[in-house]
Amino acid sequence: MTGLFSRRHRGGLRQRLLWTGLVFLGLALFTNTLAGFLYSRAQIKKAAAHIQTEISSRVASDIGDTITHKKERLLDLAGSLAVHEFGSDVQKLVAFLLLKNDSAFTDIAVMDGTGMEIIKVSERRVYVASDLSDQRESEKFYKALWGDDYVSPVYTSDKAEPYVTIAVPVRLGPKKVIGVVSGELNLKFLWSIIGDIKFASAGYAYLVDHKGDLIAYKDASLVLKRTNLSQIPRVQEFLRAASAKDPAPAREGEGITGQPVLSTFARVEALGWAVILEEPVEAALAGFYKLIRHALLLLVGGLFVGGLIIVWMSNKITEPIRELHRGAEIIAAGNLDHRVAVQTGDEIQQLAEGFNKMASALKGSYVTLEEKVEQRTKELSVLYDVTATVNRTLELEPVVQEVIKKINEIFHFDATRIFLLNPQMDELQMQASFETRPEFWAQVRSFRRGQGIVGRVADRGERILFDDVRTDPRYQEWSQSKASQKAGFAFLAGFPIKTKERTVGTLLLVGQSPRKLTGDEVQLLTSMAEQVGVAVENSGLFEQVVKKSKELEALVEINKDIAALLDREVLLPRIAEEARNLLKMDGANFRLIEGEHLVLAGESGSENLSLRPRLRLDESLSGKVVQENRAVAVRDFLEDPTIIEAHRETMRKAGYHSFLGVPLRVAGRIIGTINLYSKEEREFRPEEINPITSFADQAAIAIQNANLFAEVKQKTVELEGANREIVEASRAKSEFLAAMSHELRTPLNVIIGNTDLMKDRFFGEVTEKQQEALEKILRYSRVLLKLINDVLALTRIEAKKMSLDVSTFSLEEVVAHVRTYVEQMNHGNRLRVLWDVEDHFPLMNTDALKVEEILQNLIGNAFKFTPKGQIEIRIRDLIRKKRIEFSVSDTGIGIEEGELEKIFGDFYQFKEAHTGAYSGVGLGLSIVKKYLDLLQGDIHVQSQPLKGSTFSFTLPYSI
């Protein structure tokens, strides 16, 4: 399924209805509830505030009345006291009785008219005569004496309880004041009054004095602590306006316990106190919170019931729509016979009927559409086939045949012809055709560009359609022969066949009956013509590519051939011949620059020109090629004014018209020219000049190579001769040295032998001086013998006469010999010699004498170049490598880093050796190196000047 009904919309109409309904219902219920909440809260708060105001006023009034009542009690006492003698037991008893009957009073004092205390009784204290004092200066006395009732500010006892002192006059008659009676009133009795005040669910009250000190509260501990509440907002408000009379309206704020409260206060007039009522906001609004819970329940219930109703309603509303949707889906699925059955009698039913009508209409148009689609598919299929043919082949013929065939299949014209432009003839020639009356068309096979309808279409590149030539004035105007009309044809159409750049032909269509092509048909035929154009273009390009390829192939072949030729005698004639063949010229030659001349080096077919063998560089066309360093072409000698007359005459006599000369260059340098001659007049195009230029470059390289080859050949012959002489000389030298060494060694051995015998007193006693002389002779003779042996060894190695005497031996034997040698060298223990030799070594299979000789050479050098210090000889078994490592270290003069590479060369000597201190001929290390090469060994040197050297070499167990 596709389109509208295939997509599942999020939720669908039913869900959207449901959610919309629920959202609106929820919003309505929520708004209603919220409004209710706000209103109720305000009302509840208002009512609570009203109650508080009333209660606070009443309590304040009650407290005022209570204090007044206490004052009256004291006035009653004063009345009783007045009738008795001041200071009498009766007066004391009366005072005690007040204390007993009203526990709020804890102390009573009676003062006479002078202010002297006459009687003093107390609930807790004991007063004796000495405790009575003069009170005339006290406020309580003089205020009461003047007839005013006195109430002191609140003060605290030693047990922290709040007290006030009340004083009233003792009158005898209405005007005569004979004394004063005062009482200390413990305000603790107010605690129960205040503490018992409870209103609403958690309301309470407390009493503060004019400083904000707590006088009474349900929690007596706070009172006993003398808590000052002036920081509580409500108390602050009271203290700011202590003289105001009306109770303060209830307000929210922090209460005595620190929690938010709804509170008010009322002043206790005449005392300067305030009753403060508080009710925790939470408690005050408890009913409100209950209301919230109920309201939320109602909200949830309402939502639930509303939701159910909305579900039912949405189902009711959407069922026909869903039926409509199902029907539409069935119709959309292709069942155009389906009809939607909705009988709601409203707009949905109308919509269903509309759907049904639409389905009927769709079914009707579907048949027509199918036919059209079939026709269109056929046309596209045809076009596809043609396009496929075009893509499949690069040949033109199959394409035009396919086009003709397909057009005939579709349109059934009486004639379909394809004319293509022949560039050489500049006329349109029929390439292919289908015709019902071949005899009529046999004569009409080509048109000039612009001739007739075919020529006009090709010339203008625009299609021409004649629905009926008989009535179309254009046909009358444009057609010269009126052949179609005369043959009884009515329909005629020409479509241009175009390549990317130009019009290359005309597709001509003819019918006997008048015909009006539809837009699609015109488009299809235009496309067919375009495909023919593409095929023409492909075919042309293909031909060009094939041609070019063949040319390149030939050129490559020629270049390959001449590049392989190194013999100038063969190469030079071949170049002329190949150049001539390349452009199919009649004659060719080439000249090479020698000094200031161009020398004829080869020619082919141009012999009849009798060319001069040498030309100056500034004459003739060849000279021009050299001087301008480019190809020079002459179309016709006879007409070219730049050609000198003599030259022109020569050419004329030889029958040549055209000339092409190209330079021979190697690495940008001109070495000569190739000259080509044609008896036929020719215009040389770039595509002809390029191959010959390329050929000339290759030919120049080949000539250069041939020249070099000839030179090398000559040099080789010369070197071979020289080499033979050198080898001979070397051999003679070696033989001489070998013979001379041998000859020198024989007498020297005799000298040594006899000297030794003399030294050992074989020939009789010798004096001490003679002994010393003999030892010197012996020592230097041995040095000389060593030198001769070294020379002989080196000579034998070089003469490759050195042979190895390979045997299996124990390395310990070699070490023992070397130790003896070392002892001889170290006479007088001049140096310290260290031996670091492992205990066991495998048997070696190599030349033991040479190993020994190598070690002796290295150790001898060490002794020679170490004036003082030590020499260390180390021998280790490199088991893994199956080699033995020998090393000789010394603390001698060392070797410069730059010298290290040279020390193994023949006759190398240290600089110091020339001074005589370290004399020698410089063959020791050379022989070591050469021996090691023979024994498959290797050697390394580490050395630092003035610090010493280490020579290490390794040898395989076996060679």
Examine residue 92 and tell whether it contacts another protein (CB under 8 A): yes
| Stretch touching another protein by CB under 8 A, among 157-165, 461-469, 639-647, 722-730 | 157-165
Q: Of 197-205, 298-306, 369-377, 905-913, which part binds another protein (CB under 8 A)?
A: 298-306
Angle at which helix 12-82 crosses helix 89-101, to 10 degrees, equals 170
Could you give the CA distance from residue 667 to residue 705 in angstroms, rounded to a whole number?
13
Residue with smaller CB distance to another protein, 101 or 513:
101
Decide if residue 751 touches another protein (CB under 8 A).
Answer: no
**Size of the chain in residues:** 959
395 binds another protein (CB under 8 A): no
Q: Which two tokens stand for residue 787?
A: 């030198």
Least distance in angstroms from the C-beta of 526 to another protein: 60
Interface with another protein (CB under 8 A), residue from 297, 313, 546, 732: 297
Of 160 and 644, which CB lies nearer to another protein in the complex structure?
160
- What's the gap between Cα 267 and its chain centre? 81
Q: Which is nearer to another protein, 242 or 309 (CB)?
A: 309
Stretch that binds another protein, among 292-300, 356-364, 455-463, 866-874 (CB under 8 A): 292-300
Applying CB under 8 A, the span of 303-311, 493-501, 753-761, 930-938 interacting with another protein comes to 303-311
Binding to another protein (CB under 8 A) within 187-226 occurs at 188, 219-221, 224-225
Residue 685 tokens read as 């195009």
Select from 559, 549, 550 the least CA-distant residue to 579: 559
The minimum distance between CB 93 and another protein, in angstroms, equals: 5
In the numeric block, which tokens belong to residue 261? 């409260």
Decide whether 93 or 554 has the Cβ nearer to another protein: 93
State the Cα–Cα distance between residues 225 and 216, nearest whole angstrom.
11
> Which bin fits 427, alpha (ψ -120 to 50), beta or left (φ > 0)?
beta
Distance, in Å, from the CA atom of 562 to the CA atom of 571, rounded to the nearest integer, reads: 7
Between 161 and 885, CB nearer to another protein: 161
Task: Round to the nearest angstrom and report the end-to-end CA distance of the chain.
Answer: 89
Q: Determine contact, residues 401/532, Cβ cutoff 8 Å.
A: no
663 residue type, one letter: P
**Interface with another protein includes 565 (CB under 8 A)?**
no
Which residue, 96 or 709, has its beta carbon nearer to another protein?
Answer: 96
Report if residue 304 touches another protein, rule: CB under 8 A: yes
Alpha carbon distance 18, 526 (integer Å): 60
State in angstroms the smallest separation of the CB of 201 from another protein: 16
Query: Coil, strand or helix: which one is 428?
Result: strand
Is residue 161 close enough to count as binding another protein by CB under 8 A? yes
Site membership for another protein, residue 254 (CB under 8 A): no
870-899: contacts with another protein (CB under 8 A): none
Q: Are 163 and 144 in contact (CB under 8 A)?
A: no
- Binding of residue 103 to another protein (CB under 8 A): yes
Q: Is residue 722 part of the contact set for another protein (CB under 8 A)?
A: no
Interface residue with another protein, options 75, 193, 202, 303 (CB under 8 A)? 303
With 0-12 / 13-18 / 19 or more C-beta atoms within 10 angstroms meaning exposed / middle / buried, residue 435 is: middle
C-beta of 26: minimal distance to another protein in Å? 10
Q: What's the CA gap between 186 and 197, in Å, rounded?
A: 19
**Which one of the spans 124-132, 376-384, 749-757, 766-774 is the region binding another protein (CB under 8 A)?**
124-132
Of the candidates 453, 443, 462, the one whose C-alpha atom is nearest the C-alpha of residue 510 is 453
Say which residues have a Cβ less than 8 Å from residue 447's Cβ, sequence separation at least 6: 419, 427, 428, 454, 455, 458
Alpha carbons 266 and 235: distance in angstroms, whole number: 11
Stretch that binds another protein, among 118-126, 335-343, 738-746, 807-815 (CB under 8 A): 118-126
Nearer to another protein, 233 or 307 (CB): 307
126 touching another protein, by CB under 8 A? yes
Segment interacting with another protein (CB under 8 A) among 96-104, 470-478, 764-772, 789-797: 96-104
Which amino acid, one-letter code, is at 667? A
In this chain, which stretch among 91-99, 174-182, 411-419, 786-794 interacts with another protein, using CB under 8 A? 91-99
3-state secondary structure of 110: strand
If one counts every other C-beta atom within 10 angstroms of the C-beta of residue 350, the result is: 12
Is there binding between residue 124 and another protein (CB under 8 A)?
yes
Q: Which residues bind another protein (CB under 8 A)?
A: 15, 18, 89, 92-93, 96-97, 100, 103, 122-126, 128, 159-161, 188, 219-221, 224-225, 293, 296-297, 299-300, 303-304, 307, 311
